[in-house]
């Protein structure tokens, strides 16, 4: 890369530098491939890397630019795609052995839109098998490791994408989110990620886990890059920014049972909230009634729908699943139709209650995770004196946005006591995705936590 262009630019800045001919797309791709070469053996962030294809795409991007043709906002910028998105130039395996030598082909709608906007698909990222887990330790390609401390998990199921962005291998990576699978690794790896309003992005070509909750979405270092990616993926023009400061914005800080967290996490999130309040926001505490029951109902729906999708695979190739994933799928078969319907009925009432709460505040605020990234192999963690499974610890807060279908963005807000990242979540009203990203951008203008890089311990 040209010496005039720093290696830690955002996707937005990289695209601008390419358009201004300060750097070529080929140079940018070579830098990305070099970063992958340095970090892949330690993080295991990728399942496959398309060296030749990426360089060919970059060469084509440079030729088009020389002729005055710019594909779009990400012209020449390399990105990574989670291995549960169909991508026509790379096979899709969902990090599982179930598909064997018959990986799925095709192209997800959102991937196609990013490609048309000039993005270069550099590879597929590792994930928790079939997106059915929140640690990223279960994968046919082996576990993904956290760039901040290789002895800790990335969170999942989009852990490969989280690690790839955190370690500056790419500036944007795609994740999917059914119960926090974008926001969990975003928080654990110190980057930003958004789960859009349910239905905002096409699910076409994204392998499902639970169709009631699944959302595609981008992961990046900054909220600005998230907004660029989201508008491309949604096929819409980003509205003009309507939130430039937090003055008068009403924060509803979620408290109460089910939202307890470790002391260091609480301190970092409180500091972040104070920064927003100093910018003019109004703070109040709110509680989510029946949150514990809602968490259980989210699980019931997800388990039942996942098992329904995997019915044929479970019959034809049960040995292809990792034991933990297979046991969850088998458990989902035991959920009776009447219980599934009852869970969906409960959900309808619960959603209306949360929407009513958002009439008295503008956004809901909470930690993304109650703890920093646990050590790899830890089956349990302790939160506020209560022991819980690592899986439940990772999902006990993020599930809320999936269950309600509301948009949620996780942004970094500093290191915890072990120097591992802490994330804060903002939840908005349905359809307020870009307004939510306006607020996240403003927070990142007030702070610099998103600029921190791991030292790859």
Provide the residue ranges of all domains of the chain, joining segments of one domain with +: 11-451
Least reliable range by pLDDT among 14-23, 72-81, 92-101, 398-407:
92-101
Q: Nearest-CA neighbor of 134 among 328, 359, 409?
A: 328
How does strand 145-146 pair with strand 149-153? antiparallel
Q: 335-392 pLDDT, tens per residue?
A: 999 999 999 999 999 999 999 999 999 999 999 999 999 999 999 999 988 999 999 9
pLDDT given for residue 457 in this prediction? 52
CATH 3.90.180.10 describes domain 11-451 = no
Q: 275-317 pLDDT, tens per residue?
A: 999 999 999 999 999 999 999 999 999 999 999 999 999 999 9
Q: How far apart are CA 118 and CA 22, in angstroms?
A: 17
Q: Nearest-CA neighbor of 12 among 101, 74, 103, 65?
A: 74
Q: 118-174 pLDDT, tens per residue?
A: 999 999 999 999 999 999 999 999 999 999 999 999 999 999 999 999 999 999 999
**pLDDT tier at 77, thresholds 50, 70, 90:** very high
Q: Is 165 exposed, middle or buried (0-12, 13-18, 19+ CB in 10 A)?
A: buried
SS3 216: strand
Between residues 278 and 101, the one the model is more confident about: 278
pLDDT given for residue 88 in this prediction? 93
Q: What is the mean pLDDT of the chain?
A: 96
pLDDT given for residue 443 in this prediction? 98
Q: Nearest-CA neighbor of 287 among 197, 364, 179?
A: 364
pLDDT of 7 > 80? The answer is no
Q: How far apart are CA 379 and CA 417, in angstroms?
A: 21
Q: 258-281 pLDDT, tens per residue?
A: 899 999 999 999 999 999 999 999
pTM exceeds 0.95 for this model = yes
Percent of the chain past pLDDT 70, that is, above it, reads 98
pLDDT given for residue 1 in this prediction? 43
Enter the tokens of residue 6: 């720093």
Strands (E), 256-397: 282-287, 363-367, 380-383, 386-389
pLDDT given for residue 240 in this prediction? 86
Residues in the chain: 457
pLDDT given for residue 243 in this prediction? 85
pLDDT of 69 > 80? The answer is yes
**pLDDT tier at 417, thresholds 50, 70, 90:** confident
Asked if residue 79 lies in contact with residue 118, where contact means CB atoms within 8 angstroms, the answer is no
Asked if residue 143 lies in contact with residue 262, where contact means CB atoms within 8 angstroms, the answer is no
* H/E segment holding residue 123: strand 120-125
pLDDT of 452 > 90? The answer is yes
Q: How far apart are CA 112 and CA 119, in angstroms?
A: 9
**Which residues, other chains included, contact 296 with Cβ-Cβ below 8 Å and sequence gap of 6+?**
none
**pLDDT tier at 4, thresholds 50, 70, 90:** very low
Q: Nearest-CA neighbor of 120 among 29, 23, 16?
A: 29
Q: Strand 363-367's sheet: what is its strand order? A: 46-49, 120-125, 78-82, 172-177, 215-220, 192-195, 408-415, 421-427, 363-367, 250-255, 282-287
Between residues 104 and 438, the one the model is more confident about: 438
pLDDT of 230 > 50? The answer is yes
Residue range 230-254: average pLDDT? 94
Q: How far apart are CA 213 and CA 198, in angstroms?
A: 7
**DSSP structure string for 378-431:** --EEEETTEEEEHHHHHHTTTHHHHHHT--EEEEEEEE-TTS-EEEEEEE--TT
**Which residues, other chains included, contact 388 with Cβ-Cβ below 8 Å and sequence gap of 6+?**
380, 381, 382, 396
pLDDT given for residue 3 in this prediction? 44
End-to-end alpha-carbon separation of the chain, Å?
26
**Which residues, other chains included, contact 256 with Cβ-Cβ below 8 Å and sequence gap of 6+?**
287, 288, 291
Helices marked H in 120-247: 159-166, 183-189, 223-234
pLDDT given for residue 384 in this prediction? 85
Give me the active site residues, please.
82, 157, 181
**pLDDT tier at 6, thresholds 50, 70, 90:** low
Asked if residue 71 lies in contact with residue 61, where contact means CB atoms within 8 angstroms, the answer is yes
**Which residues, other chains included, contact 321 with Cβ-Cβ below 8 Å and sequence gap of 6+?**
96, 97, 98, 129, 130, 313, 314, 329
């Amino acid at each position: 890369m040209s010496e005039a262009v720093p290696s830690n630019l955002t996707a937005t800045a990289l695209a601008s530098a390419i358009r201004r001919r300060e750097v070529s797309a080929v140079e940018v791709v070579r830098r990305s491939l070099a970063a992958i070469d340095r970090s892949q053996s330690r993080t295991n962030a990728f399942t496959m890397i398309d060296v030749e294809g990426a360089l060919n795409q970059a060469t084509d991007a440079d030729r088009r630019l020389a002729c005055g043709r710019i594909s779009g906002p990400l012209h020449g910028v390399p990105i990574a795609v989670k291995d549960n998105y169909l991508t026509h130039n790379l096979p899709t395996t969902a990090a599982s052995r179930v598909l064997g030598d018959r990986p799925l082909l095709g192209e997800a709608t959102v991937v196609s839109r990013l490609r048309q906007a000039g993005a270069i698909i550099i590879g597929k990222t590792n994930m928790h098998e079939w997106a059915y887990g929140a640690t990223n330790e279960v994968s046919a390609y082996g576990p993904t490791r956290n760039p901040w401390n290789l002895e800790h998990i990335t969170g999942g199921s989009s852990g490969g994408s989280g690690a790839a962005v955190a370690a500056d291998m790419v500036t944007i990576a795609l994740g999917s989110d059914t119960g926090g699978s974008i926001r969990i690794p975003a928080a654990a790896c110190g980057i930003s990620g958004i789960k859009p309003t349910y239905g905002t992005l096409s699910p076409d070509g994204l392998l499902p886990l639970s169709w009631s909750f699944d959302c595609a979405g981008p992961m990046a270092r900054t909220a600005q890059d998230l907004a660029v990616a989201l508008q491309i993926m949604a096929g819409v023009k980003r509205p003009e920014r309507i939130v430039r400061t937090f003055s008068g914005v009403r924060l509803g800080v979620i408290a109460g049972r089910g939202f307890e967290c470790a002391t260091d996490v609480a301190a970092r999130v409180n500091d972040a909230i104070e920064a927003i309040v100093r910018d003019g926001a109004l703070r109040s505490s709110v509680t989510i009634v029946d949150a514990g029951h809602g968490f259980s109902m989210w699980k019931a729906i997800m388990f039942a729908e996942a098992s329904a999708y995997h019915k044929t695979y479970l019959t034809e190739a049960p040995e292809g699943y990792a034991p933990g994933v297979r046991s969850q799928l088998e458990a989902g078969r035991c959920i009776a139709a009447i219980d599934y319907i009852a869970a969906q009925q409960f959900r309808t009432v619960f959603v209306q209650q949360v929407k009513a709460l958002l009439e008295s505040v503008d956004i809901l605020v909470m930690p993304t995770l109650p703890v920093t990234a646990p050590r790899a192999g830890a089956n349990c963690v302790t939160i506020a004196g209560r022991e819980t499974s690592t899986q439940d610890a990772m999902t006990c807060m993020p599930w809320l946005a999936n269950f309600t279908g509301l948009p949620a963005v996780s942004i970094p807000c500093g290191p915890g006591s072990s120097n591992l990242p802490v994330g804060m979540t903002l939840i908005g009203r349905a359809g307020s995705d870009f307004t939510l990203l306006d607020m996240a951008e403003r927070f990142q203008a007030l702070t610099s936590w998103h600029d921190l890089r791991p030292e790859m311990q």
